[in-house]
Structure 1
Amino acid sequence: MDPNLLFWRSEGQSLLSRLQIWFNLLDPTVLLSSDAEIKNAHVLLGSGQKLNEKDGHAQTLSLSSVHADSGAVLPLIFRPPALMPISAPLVVASLLPHSSIKPALFWQFLLHSYSAGFNYANRNSSSEESNNTSLKQLLLIAGTVSYATCAGALPQIFINRLGVRSAPIQTLFRSILPIPLCAVLAFFNVYIVRSGESESGIQVFDPNGTPVGLSKAAGDKAVRETALSRAALFGTTAAVPNLLLLLLQRTRLFQRSALLAAPVRHISAALVLGMMIPVSFSLFPQLGTIEKDNVEEELQAAADGGPFYYHRGL
Structure 2
Amino acid sequence: MLSRRVKSSAATDKVAPKTDETGVPVASSMFAAVLGIGAVSAAAYIVEDATASSVPPFHPKSQRFDQSSFLGRFSKMLLACDPRLLFYTEAQVREAQKLLESYKDQDSSMDRALWEAQRIVNAALHPDTGEVIPRPFRMSGYVPYNGPICVAMVASTSTPALLFWSWTNQSQNALVNYFNRNASSPMSNETLAKSYAAAVGSALLVAFGLASFIQKKYPPAQAKALLRWVAFPSAVIASSLNCYIVRSPEIESGVPLQDSNGNIVLEGATSQIAARRGVESTTASRAILQAPVYFLPPALLSMGPLSRLVATKPSLSVPLTTFLVLTAFGLGLPATVAIFPQISEIPVKDLEERYHHSRDPVTQQPYTTLFYNKGL
TM-score range, shorter chain: 0.7 to 0.9
Look up the match of 1:65. 124
Look up the match of 2:82. 27
More off after superposition, 141-150 vs 287-296: 141-150
Please, which of 349, 352, 357 is the counterpart of residue 296 of structure 1? Answer: 352
In the TM superposition, residue 313 of structure 1 has moved relative to its aligned partner by 0.6
Q: Distance in 1 between matches of 2:247 and 2:372?
A: 15
Q: Structure 2: state its 5+ residue gaps.
A: 1-57, 360-365
1:171 aligns with 2:229: no
CA contact under 8 A between 2:182 and 2:250: conserved in structure 1?
yes
In the TM superposition, residue 161 of structure 1 has moved relative to its aligned partner by 4.5
Look up the match of 1:184. 237
Largest Rg, 1 or 2: 2
In the TM superposition, residue 205 of structure 1 has moved relative to its aligned partner by 0.8
Look up the match of 2:17. none
Look up the match of 2:179. 121
SS at match of 2:340: coil
Please, which of 70, 74, 99 is the counterpart of residue 133 of structure 2? Answer: 74
Q: Distance in 2 between matches of 1:279 and 1:181?
A: 21
1:270 aligns with 2:270: no
**AA paired with 1:236?**
P
More off after superposition, 46-55 vs 274-283: 46-55
SS at match of 2:130: coil
Q: Distance in 2 between matches of 1:305 and 1:10?
A: 26
Q: Distance in 1 between matches of 2:90 and 2:314?
A: 48
Cα offsets for 1:48-101 (capped at 9, x unmatched): 52652233331211222221111222222211110111112323544x485432
TM-score by length of 1: 0.85
Map 1:100-179 to 2 at 5 A: 100-128=158-186, 133-158=188-213, 161=216, 164-166=219-221, 168-173=222-227, 175-179=228-232
Percent identical residues = 28
Q: Distance in 1 between matches of 2:345 and 2:219?
A: 50
**AA paired with 1:18?**
R
**AA paired with 2:192?**
Q
CA contact under 8 A between 1:98 and 1:156: conserved in structure 2?
no
Q: Structure 1: state its 5+ residue gaps.
A: none
TM-score by length of 2: 0.72
Q: Distance in 2 between matches of 1:178 and 1:35?
A: 38
CA contact under 8 A between 1:88 and 1:273: conserved in structure 2?
no
In the TM superposition, residue 244 of structure 1 has moved relative to its aligned partner by 5.3
> Residues 253, 29 of structure 1: CA spacing in aligned structure 2 closer, same or farther, 3 A cutoff?
closer
> Residues 176, 157 of structure 1: CA spacing in aligned structure 2 closer, same or farther, 3 A cutoff?
same
**AA paired with 1:116?**
A
1:233 aligns with 2:289: yes
SS at match of 1:309: strand
SS at match of 2:270: strand
> Residues 85, 5 of structure 1: CA spacing in aligned structure 2 closer, same or farther, 3 A cutoff?
same
Q: Distance in 1 between matches of 2:100 and 2:87?
A: 19
Give the total of aligned pairs.
304
**AA paired with 2:141?**
A
Please, which of 89, 92, 96 is the counterpart of residue 41 of structure 1? Answer: 96
CA contact under 8 A between 2:236 and 2:288: conserved in structure 1?
yes
Q: Distance in 2 between matches of 1:187 and 1:4?
A: 35
Look up the match of 1:84. 143
1:202 aligns with 2:255: yes
**AA paired with 2:287?**
A
In the TM superposition, residue 36 of structure 1 has moved relative to its aligned partner by 3.1
Q: Distance in 2 between matches of 1:12 and 1:41?
A: 23
Look up the match of 2:273. 217
